[in-house]
Structure 1
Amino acid sequence: MDLNQWFEKAMSPEEYIKGMEKNKEGFLDIYESFQAPEDTAFYEKIKEKSLRAIVLTEDWCGDAMLNIPILLRLSKKANIDVRMLLRDSNLDLMDQYLTNGKSRSIPIFIFIDKDGNEFAKWGPRADVVQQFVDEKRASLPSKDAEDFEEKSKELYKSMHQAFQEKTEFRPEVYQSIKNALNK
């Protein structure tokens, strides 16, 4: 299946949000509170390319909760038509966009031109957010430790909360997406 077909198969952001069962409140809070900066020259440059975006996501993902609202704000200014595909139902596409060649990390943003050619891809995290996650994960006990599972759950809960509360991540995510598109 080519990328145009994946795009046509995907749901609108509104359909995705309506169907969210997890992280909807955080997602909407980030969307409402983040405003894309005045970046007219960049938006005009992107508008000329007539890009569309396919987003591989799942509503339980904290990274998706943080990143997708920022993409939606940017896409509104740059006239990028965004569509969503659930990762777990679209593994054929997901497996073409593995992180480090092995992980089905999300979200993944696949930007395509009017002919369905990949223009750019982004995801799953901005570098600053990845550093934050790496530092947090470094505090975990080894995987064979008795309390690993408990500590992992605590860690992911605290990271999820940080993604909602650390507003300083938001401009970093915006800039990271912008950098991927600036080619």
Structure 2
Amino acid sequence: MNLSQWFQKGIPSEEYIQSMENHQENSKHILEQFEVPVQDSEFFSELNKKDLRVIVITEDWCGDAMVNVPILLRLAEKADMEVRMILRDQNLELMDQYLTNGTSRAIPIFIFIDQTGNEYAVWGPRADSVQYFVEEQRSKLPPKDEPQFEERQKEMYEKMMKKYLEDRSVWKDIYESIKLKLQ
């Protein structure tokens, strides 16, 4: 399948959010709270001329998707870009074309395409500052074979979710990272 066909296969973003079984409330919270900076009107004017669409490879259980997708949706709304969701686990054929570091099926992945289906830009799964934070948190975990690993990992995920939901500097970094990729 080409990218236009993948886009057509995708789920409209509103429908996807309504169907979410995990993180729906958190995603809606970020969607309601995140505001695109007013001073970026020139960026959006230029971006709008490109007439792009977005394919999002995601799953609703993913904490990174929970924070990144709403920010993308606000940016897409400003740029008049239609967004469609492709579920990773049911579409490995597409996912495997966008592996992180050539090996990882990390999500979300945002594939920006033009109206003829040509790839314009790809972003994901995290902004650099968020990746640094995640790596820092993971470095504090004990080895996987130690008895306290699972409990410490659960605590790490809770800390990450709290930061993703409450730290607006994370939102800003994600927005700026996506914006940079589109410039």
TM bucket normalised to smaller: over 0.9
Deviates more, 1:127-136 or 1:139-148: 139-148
Gaps of 5+ in 1: none
Shift of 1:176: 0.2
2:12 is aligned with 1:12: yes
Give me the CA root mean square deviation: 0.8
Could you tell me which residue of structure 1 aligns to residue 37 of structure 2? 37
Gaps of 5+ in 2: none
Could you tell me which residue of structure 2 aligns to residue 154 of structure 1? 155
Structure 1 distance, partners of 2:49, 2:139, is 43
1:172 partner letter: D
Structure 2 distance, partners of 1:101, 1:142, is 25
Could you tell me which residue of structure 2 aligns to residue 145 of structure 1? 146
Q: State the aligned residue count.
A: 182
TM-score by structure 1 length? 0.97
TM-score by structure 2 length? 0.97
Structure 2 distance, partners of 1:59, 1:157, is 16
2:119 partner letter: E
Shift of 1:71: 0.5
Structure 2 distance, partners of 1:100, 1:22, is 27
% identity of equivalent residues: 56
Pairs within 5 Å for 1:65-144:
65-144=66-145
Deviations 1:41-71 (A, max 9, x none): 1111111111000000111111111111110
Could you tell me which residue of structure 1 aligns to residue 55 of structure 2? 54
Moved >6 Å (runs of 4+): none
1:109 partner letter: F
1:125 partner letter: R
